[in-house]
Structure 1
Amino acid sequence: MDYLALYVTLKLALITTILLMIIAAPVAYLLAYYRFPGKSLLEALVYLPMALPPTVIGFYLIIVMSPKGFVGRIWETFTGGSLLFTFLGITIASIIYSIPFAVQPMKAAFSKIDRRLLEASYVLGLSKRATFLRVIIPNSLSGIAAAAVLVFLHSIGAFGVLLMVGGSIPGETKVASIAIYEAVETMNYSAAGMIALSFIPISYAFLLLINRLNEDSRT
């Protein structure tokens, strides 16, 4: 059992989930409550990673994050290091790869809130920011939790995009899915089976949680 790969996987999934909850909430709020020119283009861009093959996402991330790329060049100028083949690099890749799974459930949850609650908060003198934090977020917890679960599950299962951006550096970028792939390549099926087996109870438990959250949201 490659415990180090499992550790990197869970660490990556947890960090991705936390960061995406922060990033996706205002994006979902914007898409749920505002009309503006180019809204459909922005929404399509947010959901685009869900429609693209992971290798396509990985390829363009390599282009952007390489020392000759726009982001990679800026990063290297300020830090002297590279984004590729680092934990930070695969974290960025994981965030981009999973952002649709955070925004969509949040947007759906925000859209279901009774507009009269929002109007009442404005009448009481709350600002839009205060309304978002004190009215929208508390009334959308099931949707936010569902988004967090989906992002976490999607992150632990990521493979192609992480392999392209991060390679397979033990303790740094080698996640469980890559460890399974490498074990199968070397015909070490027992090692691959042990790692694969560890995913089943985790994924099953989170799927049960999603079902429970969906049931609660209907009541």
Structure 2
Amino acid sequence: MLQNLDLTPFILSFKLAGITTLILFLLSLPLAWYLAQTKSKVKPFIEAITALPIVLPPSVLGFYILMVFAEVDLNFTFTGLVIASCFYSLPFMVQPLQGGFESLNKNMIEASYLAGKSQIVTLFRVALPNIKPALLTALIITFAHTVGEFGVILMIGGSIPDETKVASIAIYEMVEIMDYSAAHIYSAIMLLISFVVLFSVYFFNHTQKRIGGIK
């Protein structure tokens, strides 16, 4: 059974998760920094829009993305999956980063500005190095969440081998045809990956807190 295991769905899942995580980091970093710094009246509106994918059923989000993508021929393509995943996983990147930035000592940020540093320099030289636990949490949770996506992926990408058939879709199809042995193996691999990812986050954060306590 293991010798005949098709690893392509896992490779596609990791590829999708890696690209999505990178794109979301680049897009979410300035957004989270802005939300942590601003006192604008539009802040609650932006936060609500950003958090929508957490409460929206995947079918609702998938339906509207499907309608938009139909106009630009992105449905059932890997590129379409990446864009859809960015929408779906956005809050998992933004919220930990924003929380990390908001927890920073305000005097440290103000001191950087008083020293003549720009917002960009302050972000990369002062803020980012001091929110390592939040940064790691954002990156790993976004990656893991993308690997485990199902509803949005199914609606946007379907199940095209070597293109959009990721691990979660492969497991679904195995259950449909009652190939429970293969489904067990795929599910066990996904379970192990999820546990390792979460354990890494908690272990790192616990270690950082312990080091901080010693200091």
1:37 partnered with 2:54 = no
Identity level (%): 43
Q: Per-residue displacement from partner, 1:15-45 (whole Å, max 9, x unpaired)? A: 1111111111111111111022321111100
Q: 2:68 aligns with which of 64, 69, 72?
A: 64
AA aligned to 2:87 is: I
Cα distance in structure 1, aligned partners of 2:91 and 2:134 = 14
Partner of 2:82: 91
AA aligned to 1:11 is: K
Partner of 2:161: 170
> Paired residues, what number?
206
Partner of 2:51: 47
1:201 partnered with 2:192 = yes
1:124 partnered with 2:112 = no
Cα distance in structure 1, aligned partners of 2:56 and 2:182 = 31
AA aligned to 2:10 is: L
Cα distance in structure 1, aligned partners of 2:70 and 2:34 = 31
Q: How far off is 1:217 after superposition?
A: 4.8
Partner of 1:19: 23
Does the Cα contact within 8 Å between 1:2 and 1:179 map onto a contact in 2?
Answer: no
Cα distance in structure 2, aligned partners of 1:141 and 1:120 = 20
Does the Cα contact within 8 Å between 1:180 and 1:196 map onto a contact in 2?
Answer: yes
Q: How far off is 1:213 after superposition?
A: 3.1
Three-state SS of the structure 1 residue aligned to 2:22 is helix
Q: How far off is 1:97 after superposition?
A: 0.5
Q: Per-residue displacement from partner, 1:155-189 (whole Å, max 9, x unpaired)? A: 11100100100110011101100000001100111
1:2 partnered with 2:6 = yes
Cα distance in structure 2, aligned partners of 1:216 and 1:117 = 23
Three-state SS of the structure 2 residue aligned to 1:113 is coil
Q: Per-residue displacement from partner, 1:98-133 (whole Å, max 9, x unpaired)? A: 011101100110011111111111121111111111
Three-state SS of the structure 2 residue aligned to 1:137 is helix
Compute the RMSD of aligned alpha carbons.
1.1
Output the TM-score relative to the length of structure 1: 0.91
Q: Which runs of 5+ in 2 are unaligned?
A: none
Q: 1:148 aligns with which of 125, 134, 139?
A: 139
